[in-house]
Structure 1
């Protein structure tokens, strides 16, 4: 399961311990662009950096290959979306993985992409 950037960010917040536990129960993956988005945020506290880095140590990171870029280009040509979202969706499509995000509307229009919101599963 590929996690969108927002899932990593929510998972380190104390009030979302159920989400954090859900993440640890999954075989989690991410695009390298997700790692850049999350760890590259300029205003992370040292504790947040530590917590996020710990989660990324158990995360399978997919590189941004030319196949992923080609899929991301096609997605962006068909509808307005951020580069990050296009690469994340293209990565999920390329590796045939489900995408977990709290922003379903950003991805639910993409054919062949299976998307879930863990918050809905957790109730």
Structure 2
């Protein structure tokens, strides 16, 4: 399983205790893109940054390689999507991982991608 950036940001918010339990139980992999998106968020305070660094230290980080780039290029040629979403989707496709995200619409219709939200129902 690959966790999208948005889930990691939600996980540090007090109202998302169930998501923290899910993260601890499932220990998903994360894309290096998520590390940049999450830790690079300009509104993080020191406590949030420390909490997120602890989360990332516990998870396997997958780095984009040539195949990830090839897949991401193909996705962006097929549809309008952000570079981050294309690289995260490409990582999930390359490694055959289910994508956990709360932004399902960002990934709708991508052939071969199994996306779901652990926050839904």
TM range (shorter): over 0.9
Match of 2:64 in 1: 64
Match of 1:15 in 2: 15
Q: TM-score, normalised by structure 1?
A: 0.96
Q: Would you identify which runs of 4 or more consecutive aligned residues in structure 1 move more than 2 Å?
A: none
Q: For structure 2, list consecutive stretches of 5 or more residues without a partner in the other structure.
A: none
RMSD: 0.7
Contact 1:32–1:63, Cα closer than 8 Å, also in 2: yes
Q: CA deviation at 1:35?
A: 0.5
Match of 1:102 in 2: 102
Q: For structure 1, list consecutive stretches of 5 or more residues without a partner in the other structure.
A: none
Q: CA deviation at 1:64?
A: 1.1
Give, in whole Å, the separation in 2 of the partners of 1:32 and 1:78: 23
SS in 2 for 1:119: coil
Q: TM-score, normalised by structure 2?
A: 0.98
Q: CA deviation at 1:30?
A: 0.8
Q: CA deviation at 1:27?
A: 2.8
Match of 1:6 in 2: 6
